[in-house]
Amino acid sequence: MEEKKQKNKVQELKYCSIMQKEIFEEPSVVKNLLDTYTTSKDEITLNLPNKIDNIVIVASGSSYNCAAIAAPLFIEYAEIPCEFEYSSEFVLQKKHFITPDSLYIFVSQSGETSDTLNALKIIKEKNVKTMCITNAKNSTMWNLCDYKILSDAGEEKSIASTKALTAQILCSILVLLKIKSQKGEDISGFLNTMRRLPAYLERIKNDLPKIKSAAKEISNFNNISVLGNKNYYPVAKEGALKIKETCYLNVMAYPFGEFMHGHVAVLNQKSLVIAIIDEENSEFAVNNLKKIRQDYNPKIICITSVQDVQAGDFNIYIKTKRKLKAIFGSLLTLQLIACELAALLDKNPDNPKGLKKVVKY
């Protein structure tokens, strides 16, 4: 038994932190979920209501960013109205939009998040269909909801959520693909993209030396803005949150266009911009970055899935033409940047001061 403990300890020492170890587990988490919830016949085995005409996703913290990433995907790919709300704000609202076939989805790593549970209890009183996405089977949330999805990321020890968040986003995408399939639509192409996701994330992990170099550059700045458009704005928010949690820096995230309306004035200080660029927003993003450089000349780091975009002083290429893969790729890159930046600033990313995590596994 003692020999086994020593072996496990040695294995953990390969990583600079538990957070890094958990980030590196994401490809296997994704593969496990796909093996669990999909079949070789391109079927999704999740249990959903037969009819859904409206979705509202409620969550807090990183799980809220999952909701913000997922909601526009439901609208775009499943063609169904979808809203997302902070749990703490939801409980303060006096009225909620409910249709006969509404589905309210509650997302929580622990299944015990107090604000999210309070929101769930409000909706349960209105006899609305409820679903949870949680990493904790038999948690309070799990037991209260009508439909349940185990995100099954394994125990997440680091306070900053990484692999659990990635699992939540994938589960959300599987829900929207299930809705498409229930409408009689072909989802085989989407599932093929998802099945290539683990290998894609492994390639990004292998780019760690370049990510370390980016983190070293970022470590010279206290004024950092993370920019992303559409689906990538909540990814930018999650990246900013990870840096806040692990490095105690006041990093802000903005949509590219909105940033140019007043917020850009923060670049009058010594500043660094992290920009997320994909095929859909590349022209718009590059034009904005050119104006930003001309007016303020900050240091710019680009995380881009577009090979010929070299708009930054430092460019991290996450090769893919598929939006669903690029979302995960940019997220993983930002997680690793936060983890490496914490190490450079001599912070403990696994146990940030003043933060606690509810874990029920």
- What is the per-residue pLDDT for 354? 67
Same domain, 143 and 241: no
In single-letter form, the type of residue at position 230 comes to K
Shared domain for 148 and 254, answered yes or no, is: no
148 and 209, same domain (yes or no): no
| pLDDT score of 361 | 46
Residues 60 and 169 in one domain: yes
List pLDDT tens digits, range 335-345. 999 999 999 99
The owner of tokens 């509810």 is: 358
CA atoms within 13 A on the CB side of 43: 6
pLDDT (0 to 100) of residue 14: 73
pLDDT in tens, 166-208: 999 999 999 999 999 999 999 999 999 999 999 999 999 999 9
Q: 151 and 17: one domain?
A: yes
Say whether both 52 and 119 belong to one domain: yes
155 and 122 assigned to the same domain: yes
Asked if residue 226 belongs to a domain, the reply is yes
* Residues contacting residue 304 through CB under 8 Å, at least 6 positions apart: 275, 276, 277, 278, 282, 311, 315, 316, 317, 318
pLDDT of residue 308: 81
- Residue 102 falls within a domain, yes or no? yes
Residue-level pLDDT at 310: 83
Residue 121: how many other CB atoms lie within 10 Å? 12
Give me the CATH number covering residue 160: 3.40.50.10490
Structural domain that includes position 91: 12-195
- In a shared domain, residues 126 and 254: no
Q: Name residue 184's amino acid.
A: G
End of a domain among 195, 223, 253? 195
Tell whether 50 and 139 lie within a shared domain. yes
**Final residue in a domain of this structure, among 195, 213, 236:** 195
Residue ranges of the chain whose pLDDT lies below 70: 1-13, 354-361
Is residue 360, in this structure, part of any structural domain at all?
Answer: no
183 and 287 in a single domain? The answer is no
Closest CA to 312 of 279, 265, 274: 274
Judgement on whether residues 158 and 307 belong to the same structural domain of the protein: no
Listing DSSP states for 203-252 in one string gives HHHTTHHHHHHHHHHHTT-SEEEEE--TTHHHHHHHHHHHHHHHH----E
In a domain, 358, yes or no: no
Output the pLDDT for position 8: 47
Q: Would you give the distance in Å from CA 289 to the centre of its chain?
A: 24
Q: Which of 195, 222, 238 represents a domain boundary (last residue)?
A: 195
Distance of alpha carbon 357 from alpha carbon 62, whole angstroms:
12
Query: What is the count of structural domains for the chain?
Result: 2
* Same-domain status, 73 and 93: yes
